[in-house]
A and B are shown apart, each in its own frame.
Chain A
């Protein structure tokens, strides 16, 4: 059975590095599967400022959320939702118009695996389930199922 440490060592997961403009100290790591980086880097909608808000595109909103998750005193649960059925322990982070799917391996420690645009999850009824299953498949393939911390918001954020 693999552990988070072995997944990091083997390159199955990477620790998210804060962008140059973030000046706060990191308080906790956030782990990301390489597929999520590739999805965000390759999707032109992520960089389209017209699809963003507040003068920022979706990638910048995503980065802001990841920064807050790494650096805030207490990560906010406001943009965090459990994916049904909740027994699998899959969660979504919700930056502006995005869904980031993953799981908590410890309190306040999130692993992000894949993402989708909010409008796509509305237009394709099964996309949310498919993304949930993508996370489950990722867990299965990499023998990380035992690392999933289950429970409601109070179990994963403090």
Chain B
């Protein structure tokens, strides 16, 4: 088993988990609708009053969707949303605790003070602290 060398920082992982979760659920919801009811990107675009390319970009993850556009897509698919922002220490989840780390500037300043090597990347600090899965965030689109 192998993955890419770069590891996202803990803060970045929460973002990637959120967008990945939303996108993949939208795609799966669309695929189901398409298969069962013949829903198309054009029919979704018509409901939303946007061009088909807008729907295509959203489904492919090529758009930075606002919360409003996520809600629009979910509505057009005839689904609803259930969002859980979870504290892993208090809820029944297999997610590990997320410990916010200082921003790079603060971190680098601290390192400079302590005269340690001053080049620390986000991945360095993350790899030592966290393991999978740790986003602590669950978003589900419910049909």
Contacts and interface: CB of A to CB of B under 8 A. Distances in A.
B partners with A:
yes
A15 B2 CA distance: 6
Contacts, number: 106
A15 B1 contact: yes
Interface string B115-143: 00000000000000011111100100000
Chain A contact patch, size range: 35 or more
A37 to B, nearest CB: 6
B69 to A, nearest CB: 11
Interface in A45-94: 47, 53-56, 59-61, 63-64, 67-68, 71-74, 76, 78-79
Interface stretch (A17-25, A99-107, A140-148): A17-25
Given A68-B27, A71-B24, A74-B31, A20 B2 contact: no
- Among B24, B63, B65, B135, max chain A CB count under 10 A is at B24
A32 B24 contact: no
Contact of A59 (B2, B4, B23): B4
A54 B65 contact: yes
Q: 5 nearest interchain CB pairs?
A: A20-B132, A14-B2, A21-B13, A17-B1, A21-B17
Interface of B: 1-8, 13-17, 19-21, 23-24, 27-28, 31, 59-65, 95, 130-135, 138
Interface of A: 14-24, 32, 34, 37, 40-41, 47, 53-56, 59-61, 63-64, 67-68, 71-74, 76, 78-79, 96
